[in-house]
Chains A and B, each alone.
Chain A
Amino acid sequence: MDYFFQQLINGLVLGSIYGLIAIGYTMVYGIVGMINFAHGDIFMIGGFIALITFLVLVSIGLTFVPVILLVVLLVSMAVTALYGWTVERIAYRPLRQSFRLAPMLSAIGMSFVLSNFSQVAQGARVKPIPPVITGGYTLHESAAGFAVQLSNVQIVVVVTTVVLLAIFTWLVARTRFGRDMRACEQDQTMAALLGVDVDRTISMTFVIGAALAAVAGMMYLLYYGLVDFFMGFVAGIKAFTAAVLGGIGSLPGAMLGGLAIGLIETFWSAYCSVEYKDVAAFSILIIVLIFLPTGLLGRPEVEKV
């Protein structure tokens, strides 16, 4: 039983990181109906900016960890959001009225641009940082000597995810900006007629998605202790899968999908074989999509007349 709980913790933390990235995919899909393939690379950029900020802060002699974390969080969210905004402005907005595939191709191109850019600018090597948040708690120790361990990093990752998700849900459900977003999601033309600034709303969606990806990048850096220019690809694919599994376009769905993928991978490696964990995760995705074509929490698309 203790073993089960330890694996549950492992799975929840991994799932939280997937979920944070998945929100960015699902939000953009919900509002403009395109899959932003560059999102995984925005996440990678977020990780790099967190790393650079961290190194700068340490080199100017800051040692108080909570302050470092807060500054790193704010800087990486701000700079990555700027990346998100720029990508939307130069690569997607001019193509919005074009045929359906155009923005998607542009997104794939953007993904290459971003990953090659950081390869050239930051080098192809893996960039590690020493453990920043150390220590943890022993929750329970069984008679056999198996201790369920919860590390401080894991607490930080999960708490950050929950807090962000709460803020974000509130933003969409209760604020004026959230109302604009939901209006654009339903009908952009109608929203524009009623005085909603569609361009600005879409821009803001990308900005928020990128800021969340930056948080995910920073959590990834803290949890695994390294970033590389290639990490956006695999993480992006997993998060995209999570978004589809949860029902693309649905925010709680993205989080749920992320957790599901994280838990499936972890429990498959825990009780079956580590080798086939990705096979297991993707097989379950296929099975879910056969029976629930819109994902776990997705709504069937209503044909607008």
Chain B
Amino acid sequence: MTPLKLIGLALGASIALSTAAFAEDITVAVAGPMTGSESAFGRQLKNGAVQFVADANAAGGLLGKKLALFTGDDACDPKQARSIAEKIASDGIPFVAGHFCSSSSIPASEAYADGNVLQITPASTNPLFTERKLWNVLRICGRDDQQGVVAADYILKNFKGKNVAILNDKTTYGKGLADETKKALNKAGFQEKMFESYNKGDKDFNSIVSRLKRDNIDLVYVGGYHQEAGLILRQMRDQGLKTILMAGDAMNDKEFASITGPLAEGTLFTFGPDPRNKPTAKAIVEEFRKNGVDPEGYTLYTYAAMQVWTEAVKKAGTTDPQKVMQVIKAGAWDTVLGKLAFDEKGDIKAIDYVVYKWDAKGNYSELDPGKGT
């Protein structure tokens, strides 16, 4: 090979490289439990993110570039969440929508803070997530100290003088939510009859169920995820208990009904007003349905998280996480969930939880529709 040809080749290669860099996509990440017992919720997050990236690219991308999506799987395991976070940070991804489990979001957020990644959680409700005053965290959903109060309100109104038991699964989310609900109940002078915990992943709850039966419990409040709650419900009905089960936002997936079947009827849970019914979400909900996805639970929250970030990036003209964060906190953002604004800690201003009820056909709906919206 002659020297001239070599130079030509080197030039060609460098041009090819530079065009590759020029056309490089902006990668954003979504992280959550894509596998394991909480994978139903990971799927909600992923569906929201995939749809958003497709929509954003169809609308011309961001800052003249295309968006690409990286999906991280934490299996709702704190250790795995931390290592996914480190990978996202070291890949130089500026933004992550995630995680789902509070016990994953909290340790991951520290790795994101060190690695200069902006994190918006669409679903983690434990107060600690924003209470540590990290610079990089935002939360689109409500907090358990708000959710617990709404649950306690409902219990006080409808189960006054009755027997209430509170169970939790010892996770950051489950224990946190159960504690907040208990606190709100006790503050109003209501004493629960039983406060117990179980292990996440347990399958046999018959012994606890018999205890509920012995204590004539009318309502059991479960701070935990849908799989265990579903099993508790099934085993209660098997033992002939009519006790009503109430839980938090981790019940907003149809998978709960696939565990319980028609037994789900009457089960209560708290969650934000159904995002699918918001006027701002109408067009996008239809688009989801066209692709065969029901955007339930946290799907639209994830979509909204990505909307907030891209709008702020457009305004800031850069993806630099620190600058984008300042822009986000300074403004108010139009999203599928309506107009969103954040306080200094990164919590959303004005959230309201409402109580939902499952029916025998495996659907859930707001108990008192229109109240929250």
Q: Name the B residues within 8 Å of A277 (CB-CB).
A: 207
Does B196 sit at the interface, judged by CB under 8 A? yes
**Residue A201 at the B interface, CB < 8 A?**
no
B327 to chain A, nearest CB (A): 38
Contact across chains for B37 and A270 when beta carbons are under 8 A apart: no
A217 CB to nearest B CB, Å: 13
Known: A7-B207, A10-B210. A225 touches B231 (CB 8 A): yes
Binds B, one of A62-70, A87-95, A126-134, A191-199: A126-134
Alpha-carbon distance between A157 and B276 when the two chains are bound, in angstroms: 43
**B258 is an interface residue with CB less than 8 A from chain A:** yes
B229-267 contact mask (Cβ, 8 Å, vs A): 1 or 0: 011001000111000000000000001001101110000
Question: Which 6 pairs from chain A and chain B are nearest by CB?
Answer: A124-B35, A130-B261, A269-B207, A10-B206, A128-B259, A149-B240
Interface size class of B (residues with CB under 8 A): 35 or more
Given contacts A14-B204, A274-B207, whether A151 and B196 have CB atoms under 8 Å apart is: no
The contact size tier of chain A is 35 or more
User: B214 contacts the other chain (Cβ, under 8 Å)?
Assistant: yes
Assess whether A138 is interfacial by the CB under 8 Å rule. yes
The answer to whether B240 and A147 touch across the interface, beta carbons within 8 angstroms, is yes
| A14-B210 in contact (CB<8A) | no
Proximity bits, B200-228, A CB within 8 Å = 1, else 0: 01011011101101101000000000010
What are the residues of chain B within 8 A of A119 when measuring CB–CB? 35
User: What are 9 A-B contacts defined by CB distance under 8 Å?
Assistant: A7-B207, A10-B210, A14-B204, A125-B35, A153-B238, A224-B203, A265-B204, A274-B196, A274-B197
Q: Give B288-328 as 1s and 0s: 1 = Cβ < 8 Å from A's Cβ atoms.
A: 00000000000000000000000000000000000000000
Give the distance in Å from the alpha carbon of A294 to the alpha carbon of B207 in the complex: 30
Closest to B211 in A: A270
The answer to whether the Cβ of A145 comes within 8 Å of any Cβ in the partner chain is yes
Q: With A10-B207, A225-B259, A274-B196 in contact, do A146 and B214 touch (Cβ < 8 Å)?
A: yes
Which chain B residue lies CB-closest to A154? B238
Which residues of chain A from 1 to 60 have a CB within 8 Å of any chain B CB? 3, 6-7, 10-11, 13-14
Pair A125/B197 contact, Cβ less than 8 Å: no
A109 contacts partner chain B, Cβ-Cβ < 8 Å: no
Residues on A with C-beta less than 8 A from B191 are: none
Closest residue of chain B to A142 (Cβ to Cβ) is: B214
Q: Which residues of A contact B331 (CB under 8 A)?
A: none
The answer to whether A149 and B207 touch across the interface, beta carbons within 8 angstroms, is: no
Asked whether, in the complex, the Cβ of A13 is within 8 Å of the Cβ of B206, the reply is yes
Contact A125 B39 (CB under 8 A): yes
A174 to B5, CA, bound (A): 87
State A277–B202 Cα separation when bound (angstroms): 11
Q: Is A228 an interface residue (CB 8 A)?
A: yes
The answer to whether A224 touches B208 (Cβ under 8 A) is: no
Q: Is A224 a contact partner of B261 (Cβ separation < 8 A)?
A: no
B227/A126 in contact, CB under 8 A = yes
A226 at the interface (CB under 8 A from B): yes
Is B40's CB within 8 Å of the partner chain A?
yes
Cα A125 to Cα B259 with chains together (Å): 12
Question: Is A234 on the interface with B (CB-CB < 8 A)?
Answer: yes
Residues of A within 8 A of B258 (CB): 128, 130
Question: Smallest distance from the beta carbon of B258 to chain A beta carbons, Å?
Answer: 5
Tell me the smallest distance from the CB of B16 to a CB of chain A, in Å. Answer: 37
Q: Does B183 belong to the interface (CB within 8 Å)?
A: no
Residues of chain A within 8 A (CB-CB) of B8 are: none
Query: Could you mark each residue 65-90 of chain B with 1 if its beta carbon is under 8 Å from any beta carbon of chain A, else 0?
Result: 00000000001000000000000000
Asked if A270 and B210 make an inter-chain contact with CB atoms under 8 angstroms apart, the answer reads: yes
Is residue B162 within 8 Å, beta carbon to beta carbon, of the partner chain?
no
Q: How far is the CB of A119 from chain B (nearest CB, A)?
A: 8
In Å, the complex CA distance between A224 and B230 comes to 10
Q: Say whether B238 contacts A149, CB under 8 Å.
A: yes
Q: Which residues of A contact B211 (CB under 8 A)?
A: 269-270
In the complex the two chains form, what is the Cα distance from A270 to B198 in whole Å? 12
A105: min CB distance to chain B, Å? 25
With both beta carbons as reference points, the residue of chain B lying nearest to A231 in the complex is identified as B203
Assess the A225–B206 pair: CB atoms within 8 A.
no
Interface residues of A in 81-121 (CB under 8 A from B): 119
Give the CA-CA distance A224 to B209 in the complex, in Å.
14
Would you call B36 an interface residue if the criterion is a C-beta within 8 Å of the partner chain's C-beta atoms?
yes
**B206 touching A14 by the CB < 8 A rule?**
yes
Most buried by B among A145, A151, A231, A269: A269
Bound complex: CA of A278 vs CA of B196, how far in Å?
15
- Bound state CA distance, A14 and B206, in angstroms? 9
Q: In the bound complex, do residue B210 and residue A151 qualify as a contact, i.e. CB atoms below 8 Å apart? A: no
Interface residue B170 (Cβ < 8 Å from any Cβ of A): yes
| Closest A residue to B263 using CB positions | A131
Residues of B within 8 A of A270 (CB): 207, 210-211
Residues on the A chain within 8 Å of B36, using CB:
124, 230
A7 engages B210 (CB within 8 Å):
yes
Identify the closest chain B residue to A6 (Cβ): B210
Which partner residue on chain A sits nearest B34 by CB separation? A124
User: With A and B bound together, what is the CA distance between A234 and B204 in angstroms?
Assistant: 12
Asked if A275 contacts B170 (CB within 8 A), the reply is yes
* B239, A151: Cβ atoms closer than 8 Å: yes
Q: Give Cα A243–Cα B255 distance, bound, in whole angstroms.
A: 35
A205 — which chain B residues lie within 8 A by C-beta? none
Cα separation A77 to B196 with both chains bound (whole Å)? 39
Tell me which residues across on chain A come within 8 A of B262, comparing CB atoms: 130
Residues in chain B near residue A13, CB distance under 8 A: 206
